[in-house]
Chain A
Amino acid sequence: MNQTKLLRIEDLVLHFNTAKGPVQAVDGVHFELDSNRAVVVLGESGCGKSSLAKAILRLLPRNAGTFSGHIYLEGKDIMELSEEEFRQNIRWASISMVPQAAMNSLNPVMRVGDQVAEPAIIHLGVDKAGAISLVKKMFQHVGVPEDFISRYPFELSGGMRQRVAIAMSLVTSPNLIILDEPTSALDVLTQANIFNVLKRLKKELGISFILITHDIATSSELADDVAVMYAGQIVEVSDAHRFFDKPLHPYSQKLMASVPRLHGGQEPEFITGRPPSLITPPKGCRFADRCPSRFEKCSQEPPVVEVEGRKVKCWLYTS
């Protein structure tokens, strides 16, 4: 148990200042990740999943307000690093990211090979030729033909551009890659191909992934662990197998029941109401308003309860 975790996040808080008051996008998040594991962060739009990714990489927008807590990367608190140290040693060197809509995040007037080479030249200090040979290796890993190096993004399909973005996140051999909705703009066949690439990378290179998504079915392909986020907080952390069998938190249960299943037979459900405002979140449990099993205690902040190695933030599981 004393083994150092690859990533440990403690009480991470990220608020954004707006005219109406601070938006509590990430509000007291705890979680851990071992090396060579993939954790899926699930949640509805606006629950703070993308903000969590940005907070880990310290990619803060101008209106960021409170930003506090601890992020331990291999035991070292990276929140204490200066911006310059963070840029040199952490961002892209140890943790890289495939941003949301990565297929549209490529520079349209730069050849894709040069774009993928850029982080290698900056962070690894290799020369252009060395970087290009690295790029070729990365392209092989993600299944992009080598001769695409001299092409421009518009000459590539969405799926290929997504692979290029993944290659770019790989080129500095980081320990951890954060993928923000990597396949949500892609067709089902392309999605399946990308997930096969990710599975292979995890097996062959031992990389860990944080996969941020609202697509529950697709995420089950890669997940070792699942963290469910609701209104800026993580409400459940579990190993994927038991989570997909039987989620613990009432929100997770409702979320799982709303996934339409093929050959399912049973009708998918839906969650009434909508997530609370993150400017004035309700006191106590933030899901209480929409929860079918709500009782008196839910007006107080629920504790995180450990149930057979799984963690759930809910009063129902306190003895």
Chain B
Amino acid sequence: MNTKNSNAQSKSDLLVVKNLKKYFPVRSGVMQKVTNHVKAVDDVSFTVKQGETLGMVGESGCGKTTIGRAILRLVEPTAGEVTFEGKDVVKMTDRELKPLRRDMQIIFQDPYASLNPRMPIGESVMEGLHIHKIGTPQERWEMAINMLKKVGLEEYHARRYPHEFSGGQRQRIGIARALALKPKFIVCDEPVSALDVSIQSQVLNILKDLQAEFGLTYLFIAHNLSVVEHISDRVAVMYLGKMVELTDRDSLYKEPLHPYTQALLSAIPVSHPSEKRSRTILKGDVPSPLNPPTGCRFHTRCPIAIEKCSQEEPEFREVRTGHYVACWLAE
């Protein structure tokens, strides 16, 4: 992993996200006037390097899923730039976007809801090939079966329906479908959080093997920090629509600089009762993204906040080489 990590550092940027914003309007009253906005993603910038896995963590509602979807234009970004291989995805028309969809795919969170229950899974996997008019029907079927084999399923599975599979198998089918078009970049949106722990690592291993085989780049969104540690080269931490920390995996887990990251890491349960340690447990809940706190959004729950934190918003700055933090106190 370590050698792979340093390789990723030297590689070029596949995806550049600049000042991405996604505001969801809130309507109320008889006239359904827009009265406010939920700032789900508020001015987030980062890059994903060729061949790396960028992990993205945060609590529910912090905007991590919205980022994944906005990058793929599954939701329309409110503002900002998303540059994939030098082309700005946000400015593209639907027609221009279509060929790009082959290169950028997504694996969804819930394998029970993401497959068409009335379609044999082989057809689900080849649907994308059909839309992009790749090969003859016979060739598409063969490609679909090939993909299913890559994720550990057999040819006879292709004619079965989703309800005949377990959660882990369905998630592998979801992976096969995302991979059928030979994409370069895949957004993995909580791909294992709906699975039993006994099969999570099987799905993670498949993702890793396929990455090595096809040179894939992943944006891996999850709330489980242990899972993210196992798969990521670099990790980004989100809080209330903002990115608060971004660095390589080892630095983040060994030496987190943002107080929110520190609290998140100390809240992870240890898997042995004898491993006692001091924990920073944050009080209160995540504030509403309708009226985020002024200044640093974390200051209402931050154990070390100073006066400046409630007044001025900290810049997302590079504190050490490749280690970005949005905190006034980080050095």
Contact = CB atoms under 8 A, between A and B. Distances in A.
Interface of A: 44-45, 157-160, 187-193, 195-196, 214-218, 220-221, 223, 240-241, 244-245, 254-256, 258-264, 267-272, 274
B264 interface: yes
A6 B272 CA distance: 26
A221 B273 contact: yes
B306 interface: no
B279 to A, nearest CB: 7
A271 B281 contact: no
Contact of A262 (B202, B226, B279, B282): B226
A171 B197 CA distance: 34
19 contacts: A45-B167, A157-B285, A157-B286, A158-B60, A188-B268, A191-B269, A192-B269, A217-B226, A220-B271, A240-B273, A241-B274, A244-B274, A258-B200, A259-B271, A260-B200, A260-B204, A261-B271, A264-B226, A267-B205
A217 to B, nearest CB: 4
A313 B174 CA distance: 37
B220 to A, nearest CB: 13
A240 B273 CA distance: 8
Nearest to B166: A274
Interface string B237-274: 00000000000000001000000000111011111111
Q: When A and B form their complex, which 5 residue pairs have the shortest distance between CB atoms, in order from nearest? A: A270-B202, A268-B201, A187-B59, A260-B226, A192-B267
B285 A259 contact: no
Contacts of A223: 273
Contacts of B168: 274
Q: Which of B167, B269, B272 has the most CB of A within 10 A?
A: B269
Contacts of A192: 267, 269, 279, 281
A187 B263 contact: no
A189 B267 contact: yes
B34 interface: no
Contacts of B279: 192
Contacts of B202: 270, 272
Nearest to B168: A274
Q: Which of A189, A241, A261 has the most CB of B within 10 A?
A: A189
Contacts of A189: 59, 263-264, 267, 281-282
Contacts, number: 120
Interface string B264-300: 1101111111100001011001100000000000000
A270 B200 contact: yes
Contacts of B269: 191-192, 195, 215, 217-218, 220-221
B26 to A, nearest CB: 15
B212 interface: no
B227 A255 contact: no
B199 interface: yes
A220 B285 contact: no
Q: Which size class do B's interface residues fall under?
A: 35 or more
B74 to A, nearest CB: 24
B2 to A, nearest CB: 11
B160 interface: no
B230 A188 contact: no
Contacts of B272: 220, 244-245
A46 to B, nearest CB: 9
B253 A271 contact: no
Nearest to B271: A217
Contacts of A157: 285-286
A244 B271 CA distance: 7
A270 B223 CA distance: 20
Interface in B134-154: none
Given A217-B269, A263-B229, 8 more contacts: A187-B59, A188-B225, A190-B59, A217-B226, A223-B273, A261-B271, A264-B226, A271-B199
B3 interface: no
B307 interface: no
A268 B264 contact: no
B282 A244 contact: no
A180 B324 CA distance: 40
B291 to A, nearest CB: 15
Contact of B197 (A245, A258, A272): A258
Interface in B149-207: 166-168, 196-202, 204-205
A267 B204 CA distance: 10
B59 A220 contact: no
Contacts of B223: 187-188
Contacts of A159: 285
A147 to B, nearest CB: 15
A272 B264 CA distance: 32
B225 to A, nearest CB: 7
Interface in B94-129: none
A270 B199 contact: yes
Q: Which of B167, B223, B270 has the most CB of A within 10 A?
A: B270
A171 to B, nearest CB: 23
Contacts of A271: 198-199
B221 to A, nearest CB: 14
Q: Which of B168, B196, B227, B270 has the most CB of A within 10 A?
A: B196
B264 A260 contact: no
A284 B229 CA distance: 39
A217 B268 CA distance: 8
Contact of A254 (B198, B230, B274): B198
